[in-house]
């Protein structure tokens, strides 16, 4: 009885690990959409009279981590192909 429950647990955990990939790529679409949205808003606001150094720094604080995550996802996807 104990052996059958252990082997069933091992089979189910190995099936889950074959389906899911850990890390950033599972959020790739969200990161990409967020990055595009923030860069678009930054571009539109930079043409307005409300644009200043503090607003620029605020957008950079939000964009830089998303940009790094996007680069990591690209590297991961290229690594999957190779």
Place of tokens 């099936």: 15
Tokens of 67: 């940009």
pTM higher than 0.95 for the full model? Answer: no
pLDDT for position 38: 93
Model confidence band, residue 2 (pLDDT cutoffs 50, 70, 90):
very low
pLDDT, tens digit, 9 for 90 and up, residues 35-72: 999 999 999 999 988 889 999 999 999 999 999 988 98
Give residue limits of the domains in the chain. 22-81
| pLDDT for residue 20 | 54
Residue 23, sorted as left (phi over 0), alpha (psi -120 to 50) or beta, turns out to be left
CB atoms within 10 A of CB 69: 19
């Amino acid at each position: 009885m104990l052996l059958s429950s252990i082997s069933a647990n091992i089979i189910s955990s190995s099936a889950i690990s074959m389906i899911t990939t850990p890390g950033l790529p599972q959020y790739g679409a969200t990161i990409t959409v967020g990055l595009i949205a923030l860069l678009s808003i930054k571009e539109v606001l930079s043409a307005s009279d409300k644009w200043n150094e503090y607003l620029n720094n605020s957008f950079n604080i939000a964009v830089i981590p998303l940009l790094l995550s996007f680069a990591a996802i690209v590297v991961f996807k290229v690594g999957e192909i190779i």
